[in-house]
Each structure stands twice: as C-alpha cells, then as structure tokens.
Structure 1
Amino acid sequence: MGVAVNARVDDANPPARAGQAAMAPIDCALDAVTRRLDQQRLREQFVEQGAFLYLDAFLPSDVTAGLADSARALVPAVNRNYLPGHKQGGSVSRHTIDRLAPRIAELYRSRALIEWLERITGDRLLPSPDDDPHAYALYYYTREGDHIGWHYDTSYYEGRRYTLLIGVIDDTSCRLDYELHTRTPGATVVAGSIQYPPGAIVLFDGDKLRHRITPSKAGEMRVSLTFEYVTDARMRPWRRFVSNMKDAIAYFGFRQVFRLRGASLPGKDTA
C-alpha cells in the first residue's frame, strides 16, 4: 500500500508573521493552516513517495463548505462526457468557473497556498495560462458508472505540471486508486487506494502518478476540484493542438475549449 499521511502540527513553527492582518482573507486562513504543519516531514514524504502526498485534512471547514455550495450551484453548467472503456462523468472548466464561481479562482491564486506548495515540491510554481481550461476545474461523478480509468495527468507544457486534488463533496463509494514509482527506473511499484473526504488534498506530479477513480453507484455524488500549476508555461504549437483536442473531447466540449481560447474549431471558423 502507498502511504496516506495525516496532517501533523509542528509546535516548533513560529507565531504568525507581523502584518498578517493585511493579507487577503483566504491567504490568512491558509497561512494559519500551513504554518501548523510539519513542512519538513511532509516534504520528505513527498520525495520518498515519488512526488506524491495525501493529507486527509487541509482546507478550513468554512472554505470547504463554500466550495461545496459552488459545486452544487454549478451542476446546470456541467458538461457530460463519455469515452467507452475509459471515462464517464461531468466537468466544469475554469472559464465557466470564472463566470459563475469566481471565488474558486481566488483560492487557486492564493499566495499562501502557492508558497506552501513550492516548499513541498521544491519547485517554483506558476499558475497555468489563462487559456488553459484545466487550470482549475470541477469534476462530477453523479450517475451510476461515472469513473475514469488508469491514466497519468500528462503535461504538454515544457516544464513539470503539478496536480492538486481537493475533496469537495463525497457521498460515494468511489476511490482514488494509485501506483507510485511506475516511472522510476529500478524502483518497486507501490499501490494505494484512498477515499479523500471534503477538505482533503492530494498533491502529485501528473507525469509520475498512475491513477484512476473507481465507478460510482446509483444515487451517489462526488465532486472534486483540481488545481494545476506549472514550472514552465510554454507549450509548443503541436502540443497545444493535442491538448485542445483532448480537453474538447474528454472534458469540456469544443465550444468551451476553442471559442474561449480564441481559436477556430478544426475545419470551421469561430462563430
């Protein structure tokens, strides 16, 4: 089994920084959370597990409740998708979130959150470009059989892309199954499975973690929020095309991906 760790208070951390009151409310909340974690221990676990970390409690309860309210309000905007043998479910892209639930973008851009993620990953992290619908997105499992098969969160960017999964709603039996060290030469593959609750997080390098979500049952509802951060925001044109087509077919629909990017649909002019 892979290691799923609990958050632990580090009593050696200093008191809140001077001037904290001038921070944005979301930064104040996250700064208080991250300063109470044993960051060195978590960094070591992230490295030992091949760029993977699970915390079963992270976001403050009021922040989590706000995300759940937004997720329920966005149900009418969900784009359903089905790829036989691979995935079934619903998605809401960052473009729709920006219009209808802009507070999610505030969390995504939180300086306190990004700085903590940088300390855990050891990389300088950048937000994904404004035209990337995956920068932050909601994923819905609301019908019987909703799932996604084994995959990597492949980065089409020049640098690394880190995925942060956030539990929002979980009234299901769905599980995140994963395999560590699958792309580490000579390493033993370690399998694990978690059912991360609202407020929990999973952080990993998308090109290193093989994972899936098991099928939901009738009457269940699961919503997960995904944040994507990159180390280099450049993308070659042919990779951009592949990324666009994948997002349009498997997640958000052609209109969301191509019209909001200012690009033309393949073989068509933009309306």
Structure 2
Amino acid sequence: MSVQAEEEQAVTANARSAGIEAGAAGVPDAAIGRALGDLDPARLRDEYVNQGSFLYLSEFLPADATQRLIDAANALMPEVNRNFIPGHKAGGSVSRHTIDRLQPYIAELYRSPKLIAWLEKITGDKLQLSPEDDPHAYALYYYTRAGDHIGWHYDTSYYDGRRYTVLLGVIDDSSCILDYELHTRDENKPDEPGAVQYPPGALVLFDGDKLRHRVTASREGEVRVSLTFEYVTNPNMRPWRRFISNMKDAIAYFGFRQVFRKALQSAIGGARKTGERA
C-alpha cells in the first residue's frame, strides 16, 4: 500500500471513530484539502512550538469556503445572543446548537478529517471533537456595536486534558485587533507581545491555556465576526467543572436557555442509557 493510501485510510478510520461519515464531510473536507495545498506541516510545527503553542496564517481557507462562512454568519444574525460583562466583554454569540440546526456546513467543516489530521501534526497531540453538549465546540462571535470587545483572558480548559482553539476569520469590516502575549506560562522565556487583525479566511491556532489574549473594541458602524473551533485531548469533565463551565457560557455567551436546556437533555439522555444498560 502506498504512503498516500495509508494516510487516506488513516483519515477515514479517524473520521469513523469520531462518528463522521465520509459523505457528510465531503465538500468541507475537499476545501480543507485545497487549503493545506502547499503548506509545510514540519515548518509550521516548528513555528508553532517556537511561539509557545501559537500559529497564525493570514491565508488559509479557499475563497469559496470563506464565502460559505460569510453567508452563514449573515444568515445567523437574527439568532445572536447579546451579552455584556462590565469591564470585561460585550458582543454577541451563536452556539453550536443553533449552528447545528440552521447552518450545518460549519459543523461539517469542524469535523473535517483532513483538518483534524493537520492540526494533530501541528500540535503534536491526538485530538478529539468536543462533546455534543459543549456550546463552544464551534461558535460564531459577533462584534456589531460600538465598544464590543473582550478583555485579556485565556481559553481555560475545564476538561481533564488540553483544549485547542482554532479561530477562523469570517467578516472583518472593523478596526478590532487580536492582541496576544506568548510564553506567559513559561518561566524560562520572557513574555512576547503580538497583534494580528485576521481577515476572512485567516487561521489562528493556539493552546487555550497558554495564550493570553484579547480583542480590542469595535467602533460605530463596524462589523466583525469570527468562528471558533475547539478540540480536546480528553473529553471528560468533572461535574463541578461542568457546572462552572455552564454558568460561564450562560452568563458570558449563549444565555441560560441555550446552555442549560442542552445540558438537561444530555443528562436525561445519559440517564436513559444507564437505565437501558441496567
């Protein structure tokens, strides 16, 4: 068997193990294949490691895939849940649960076997999809009013393992900047500040527990929409951490109805399965 055939077989096996049918991910997976094109994973892996688990690509998604995300973001505008935390953040969010119902292309892109395999090469970790009840697994974030922003923070993992964040630029008619600081958790290296204004189709990848970052405030008349994908190394979460995570998501992002309705449905489903096994 050729090396290429072995790689394709491995990708298919990974997709099946994650509950992904090849046909369902076909179109997005083809777009990712074109995106990876001439990218050198070994060089990008070195860049990622040298920057303390951070990578920025100003061009990643093909134009047609980017346009599909733009169309989806515009279509989901009526579904945006606005949130405001004084001194920390203001903006809008659409969770994976709404995306699943109305714009499944995004979910298919998130599950792309080619994307996951490439991310594994860059991070050096075996990655898994976030659990179905995690509203952050893939979500859209909207900055549509003057002052929309998010302050300095880490994408803290409440899971037993690591959580990796992928940011994809969707719409950027704004002056917003992603400010970040590298190496803040490495005592052997000085903090290294940086900033990017990632355009539609751009990609940012980082370990959520290692990158301190923020998004600066938007101005009147500006619109910015970004898409996040979250992948984990261990999908298990302790109950008290789940409660904290759900409260944070309900208050700061998606609203109590969205977060706790899905959490309750998941708990009921788990209880039924346990009863069936008993």
TM-score by length of 1: 0.89
SS state at 1:262 partner: helix
Structure 2 unaligned spans of 5+: 12-21, 267-278
Using the TM superposition, give the Cα deviation of residue 262 of structure 1 relative to its aligned residue in structure 2, in angstroms: 1.3
Does residue 137 of the first structure (1) align with residue 139 of the second (2)?
yes
CA distance in 1, matches of 2:217, 2:151: 9
Counterpart in 2 of 1:118? Answer: 120
Once superposed, which parts of structure 1, at least 4 consecutive aligned residues long, lie more than 4 Å away?
Answer: 17-20
What amino acid is aligned across from residue 218 of structure 1 in structure 2? E
Does residue 56 of the first structure (1) align with residue 61 of the second (2)?
no
CA distance in 2, matches of 1:33, 1:255: 37
CA distance in 2, matches of 1:151, 1:48: 21
**1:184-199 pair list within 5 angstroms:** 184-199=186-201
Does residue 76 of the first structure (1) align with residue 78 of the second (2)?
yes
Measured on the aligned residues, the alpha-carbon RMSD in Å equals 1.9
Using the TM superposition, give the Cα deviation of residue 35 of structure 1 relative to its aligned residue in structure 2, in angstroms: 4.0
CA distance in 1, matches of 2:256, 2:141: 17
Structure 1 unaligned spans of 5+: 1-13, 265-271
Native 8 Å contact 2:63 2:201 kept in 1: yes
Using the TM superposition, give the Cα deviation of residue 260 of structure 1 relative to its aligned residue in structure 2, in angstroms: 1.3
CA distance in 1, matches of 2:232, 2:52: 17
**1:217-256 pair list within 5 angstroms:** 217-256=219-258
**1:139-158 pair list within 5 angstroms:** 139-158=141-160
CA distance in 2, matches of 1:181, 1:49: 7
Identity score, percent: 69
* Alpha-carbon spacing, 1:225–1:54, altered in 2? closer, same or farther (3 Å): same
Does residue 209 of the first structure (1) align with residue 211 of the second (2)?
yes
State how many pairs are aligned. Answer: 249
What amino acid is aligned across from residue 259 of structure 2 in structure 1? V
* Alpha-carbon spacing, 1:125–1:18, altered in 2? closer, same or farther (3 Å): closer
Using the TM superposition, give the Cα deviation of residue 36 of structure 1 relative to its aligned residue in structure 2, in angstroms: 1.4
Using the TM superposition, give the Cα deviation of residue 202 of structure 1 relative to its aligned residue in structure 2, in angstroms: 0.2
SS state at 2:170 partner: strand
CA distance in 2, matches of 1:33, 1:65: 14
Counterpart in 1 of 2:275? Answer: none
